[in-house]
Amino acid sequence: MLTSINPTMKAFAVLIPALLLAFSFDPLTPFIYLVFTIAVTFLFGKISFKRWLLVFSPFLLLAVSFAWMTMLHPSDTFSSGEVIFSLWSLEVTSDSFWAGISLGLRSLSFAALSLLFILTTDSTKFMLSLMQQCKLPPKLTFGILAGYRFLPTFRYELQVLKQAHRIRGVGRARGVKERLHQFRRYAIPLLANAIRKAERVALAMESKGFTGESNRTHYHEMSINTRDWIFVSVFFGMFLVSIFISYQLGILNIFGIEFEKY
């Protein structure tokens, strides 16, 4: 299901809740949204858990680092409360502890939302959707697509260059000076090949009648249907639900301002 959602609508459904989560400083709101995002990713997307975990693991380490640094060096807003434990001359209070947990969970929520979009979205369809729904200029759209398609080619050409240099007896660079010289040996032929490929692509597009005008027909028509609006509504609605649950439990915190239920 996730792969069939319009990429532009999916981008809005992921980006706007992520921006709203940045204002939430309590741990429950990002935790609920994190669980919701992971559940949607695996229930409605054909994603390997091993692959997802492999990509998600670095963000987990970053989240733990953010949380730990926030606990040890909190701002004045979150420095009050009872002292939970101390590390040398640094004291971790209850407010700084929950602020660190909240920051870590927000970071994980951002990562989960990003992975949901990246792992379930085709890059070509995304650019076509931006061109058709968001009126992105065709010159910019096809330029980005062409550059994106060149990346695997550049990697292959770099491997060929390294093997060619190795056959001719050029050893690995050891010092800083040798590394700079090696970078120049690789950069010049790669840049020359890139210029030649760009010229060929430009001539091919011009020969096919590409003028860059916005008023054009499309072989792949990207449309927005009811399912896309439902998808966006569910993601916005779940954010409101998480805010409501935090408010009902009396722990809602927006920019350090606590909202207690009366």
pTM as predicted = 0.77
CA proximity to 59, closest of 121, 104, 14, 13: 104
| Residue 59 CA: distances (Å) to CA of 158, 167, 234 | 29, 40, 25
Burial class of residue 248, CB neighbours in 10 A (0-12, 13-18, 19+): exposed
Which residues of the chain are under the pLDDT cut of 70?
74-81, 83-85, 87-90, 170-175, 208-214, 216-219, 256, 260-262
Q: What pLDDT, on a 0 to 100 scale, did the predictor assign at position 240?
A: 93
C-alpha 50 chain-centroid distance:
19
Chain segment 38-74, per-residue pLDDT in tens: 999 998 888 888 889 999 999 999 999 888 887 777 6
Report the run of H or E that residue 8 belongs to, with start and end: helix 7-21
Q: Is 150 helix (H, G, I), strand (E, B) or coil?
A: helix
Q: What pLDDT, on a 0 to 100 scale, did the predictor assign at position 213?
A: 67
CA proximity to 80, closest of 105, 104, 97: 97
Question: 10 Å Cβ neighbour count for 207?
Answer: 8
- Residue bearing tokens 């947990």: 101
Q: Say if CB 29 and CB 243 are below 8 A apart.
A: yes
> How many whole angstroms separate alpha carbon 44 and alpha carbon 227?
13
**Cross-strand partners of 87:** 90
Q: Say if CB 90 and CB 72 are below 8 A apart.
A: yes
Q: What pLDDT, on a 0 to 100 scale, did the predictor assign at position 124?
A: 83
- Residue bearing tokens 């970078």: 183
**Cross-strand partners of 254:** 24, 257
> How many whole angstroms separate alpha carbon 93 and alpha carbon 201?
60
Tokens of 180: 């700079």
- Residue bearing tokens 């027909």: 217
Question: 10 Å Cβ neighbour count for 146?
Answer: 15
Q: What pLDDT, on a 0 to 100 scale, did the predictor assign at position 261?
A: 60
